[in-house]
Amino acid sequence: MTGRIGPLTRYHLELLLRSHAWLPPFLAYALLLVVGVTPGDPLLGSLGLGAGLLLPVSAWYVRGALAAEPSASRACLVAAAGPARVHLAALLAALTASLVLAVGQVAALWWSGGTVADPKAEHQPPAGTALAAGLLTSVVCALLGVLVGVLTSRPVPVRAPYGIPAALALATLLLAVPASPANPAVSALVSAARTGRVAMPWVELVAAVVLLVAGCAGAAALAGRRPE
């Protein structure tokens, strides 16, 4: 199965690029960062904001990847490769786009940022430590954002008019609820901007991976049972 997933994922990535479905989430994300981050702001706080905003944007990429292919060609692909593989490949394409965006935003915020932590913080942590924590937190949010997209897009039975509001509500919930891996990971970055004490979100990363794997497995199984 892995051997066939790779070419299918590349195919969906090409569709995502050629259809320009990647552009609206990217522009919205860039605009929010421009509005929310001022050049010279403490790096850790900016990384926290960038990671949090990545969660709904990653969900948007899932919807774009699933809608990028015309229905007729998708039906042919499903007949040839199976609905579960085709669906997983689209999700992997969305995840790839989200992770690329995560790396790009960490680099951009590093370039435009000021001190690593607030100048009044107890101490200034190394930039490398802050960047690593910011990247891991962004990956956590990207994984959970893809999960949000999985749970609010076909083949999950959510009526089309309610898909986007449901995705926004679920993304907000994952950022706000302390039990969600995204909440403590982002909160730790924001707190580190004030104190200078950086913590790596390893537990949150593992939890996000487990949740996404379970969600993708369920969606792939559902894709094989529900009509496209």
Question: For the segment 96-149, what is each residue's pLDDT rounded down to a tens digit?
Answer: 999 999 999 999 999 988 889 888 877 889 999 999 999 999 999 999 999 999
Residues 59-73, mean pLDDT to the nearest whole number: 84
pLDDT tier at 56 (50, 70, 90 boundaries)? very high
What's the pLDDT tens digit per position in 181-202?
999 999 999 999 999 899 999 9
Sign of CA dihedral 55, 174, 130, 135: negative
pLDDT at residue number 108: 94
Tell me the pLDDT band of 159, cut-offs 50, 70 and 90: low
Which pLDDT score is estimated for 69?
75
pLDDT the model gives residue 226: 54
